[in-house]
Structure 1
Amino acid sequence: MTMLRLKRAYDPPLEDDGFRILVDGIWPRGMKREQIQIDLWLKDVAPSDELRRWFGHDPGRWGAFKERYHGDLASKGDLIALISEKISSGDVTLVFGAKDEKFNNAVALKEYLLRED
């Protein structure tokens, strides 16, 4: 069964991560490309700078953030299709830079992708 995982960019890559996609619009601070070992950087699937700044990883804004971000993702069908295609051919790990592992765009993106199936 294919797995869709989430992992911080600062955690070491593992063999079972499968295809690694960085889903942030900003490169993770202090990290070199060799350290992250991503296969693809999808900057355009990240939330807009405006939405990202407004959210600020505030758990109180999580519901509204997801709603707005999912609305934005609905207009990015080509990127969602690309990720879905990778998932259908093997394990995929969505890589993110945020410290907060519960309230970030990768978590919201994973929920969106699983809802779309």
Structure 2
Amino acid sequence: MQGFPEENDLLSLFECEPIMFDTTMKDFFYNEATYQFSNGEEEFVVTLSPSYSEVKIQVTQRNCNTLLSLLDLKSVDKFEITADKKDQSSILLRMQNDAFIQTIEIDFKPKFKLILKEHDTR
């Protein structure tokens, strides 16, 4: 699936069923899936469009509904699950162009954390 995890792996990671854009389409890769979940402190809305290499992640503070982070990425070439446990979940996203590779490390549990790194490939 071109750098994206399988549907079952995402179900395990996000611990919820996705809302599918096209409910008649059977192929997950060509659909858009939205996962809504919480870690107790933050609320997450993760929208994936694997065939377009798009990932959107919105994070809000649960008690006051304040936006903490919004990523709207259009060229993700790798989506890797780095931890999927009851008390810890995290991913690594990678985007690459001619001169740079950008990686984004995101922890969902136990608490939200985002680390963005840019690596020179020249």
What TM-score results when the alignment is normalised by the length of structure 1? 0.25
Higher strand share: 2
Greater share of helix: 1
Q: Which one scores higher on RCO, CA 8 angstroms, separation ≥ 6?
A: 1
Which is greater in Rg?
2
Structure 2 length-normalised TM: 0.25
